[in-house]
Structure 1
């Protein structure tokens, strides 16, 4: 199997094990067994269990950025761009529950490089939203745009956590809930 394909396979299995067991109790032995490789091979690819976790988080961050960027392409109005971006986020959360689990369970990872990687994911989304807002909104200052983007990211993260407890809430419904609150505050700032 080509190295890149094997690496993706290892990351996929590790994501499952980390989501099922939690990072602390997940074992490299179990991950290696499920992948069908030796434990030394995992270490050869990722150097450590934390390195494997970081690879999982980096992959999730990359995928999340890709889906949100693609979702807003071609949007012609601020409301449409916001709705598309939110919907892409909530779809990603639903369709990638294991990846989302890794991103949101950072309390067990405090003090590790992984907590920095999770914060980098938030920062990535904040930067993406701030860039989008700067194109549509008259916020007056870059600091104000960044503050609004941080609010959107924080609110959506909490709403996504709430959605986990309410499986009947579809990505479309979560998007509508978020738009009801967020768009009300942003509508008057459209250029």
Structure 2
């Protein structure tokens, strides 16, 4: 009885922001494991330990909850790559560290990565728009890194090269699911072998 009262007390003391993060963490896990279509708001509410009406109060709908999960993934991914970029002092290290940050993100945040990877099939314009926004965010970020390394490239080239890098990262992440022995470091090495020459104008 005392344990139940203590749990209830902790639940009441949790701020709205903390509660939202708790819900998002659980929802991300359930969506990634079960898929969007197979997951119900009842499932998520039960696992969090809140009422289903509270989920609707916070997020409006199951789709709204999925969108909030995707938006959190978007923030976390850009934060990880931005931090990696800040520590680099030359173009090659910059690309290496950002690639490594991406692959580590896909490992350290496997549920978030599964969510980004699997939910493209959700029949929702809003969800697909958010998924594309994540790709565009990383494309634009990558293009800016390339601009610093190769100021001779025009806008079209920067965008095309950034798209190629992002696409390669995504495909290599999928490939690594079948090759678990390929570490983030090894995946980064593979892509550096492919892309590093393009960082030098003379090459």
Does 1:66 find its partner at 2:79?
yes
Contact 1:72 1:81 in 2 (8 A): yes
Contact 1:136 1:190 in 2 (8 A): no
Displacement, 1:165? Answer: 1.4
Q: Which residue pairs with 1:10 in the alignment?
A: 23
Whole-angstrom CA distance in 2 between matches of 1:154 and 1:190 = 25
Structure 2: gaps spanning 5 or more residues: 1-13
Whole-angstrom CA distance in 2 between matches of 1:33 and 1:109 = 23
RMSD, matched Cα: 1.4
Whole-angstrom CA distance in 2 between matches of 1:21 and 1:106 = 11
Whole-angstrom CA distance in 2 between matches of 1:110 and 1:50 = 10
- How many residues are aligned here? 190
**Max radius of gyration: which structure?**
2
Structure-2 change in CA distance of 1:77 and 1:10 (3 Å): same
TM-score where L is the length of structure 2: 0.90
Q: Which residue pairs with 1:42 in the alignment?
A: 55
Q: Which residue pairs with 1:57 in the alignment?
A: 70
Structure 1: gaps spanning 5 or more residues: none
Please list every run of at least 4 consecutive aligned residues from structure 1 whose deviation after the TM superposition is greater than 3 angstroms: none
Contact 1:78 1:190 in 2 (8 A): no
- 1:35-184 → structure 2 map (5 Å cutoff): 35-184=48-197
> For each residue in 1:9-35, what CA deviation from the matched residue of structure 2 results, as whole angstroms up to 9, or x when unmatched?
000000011011100111110100000
Contact 1:137 1:190 in 2 (8 A): no
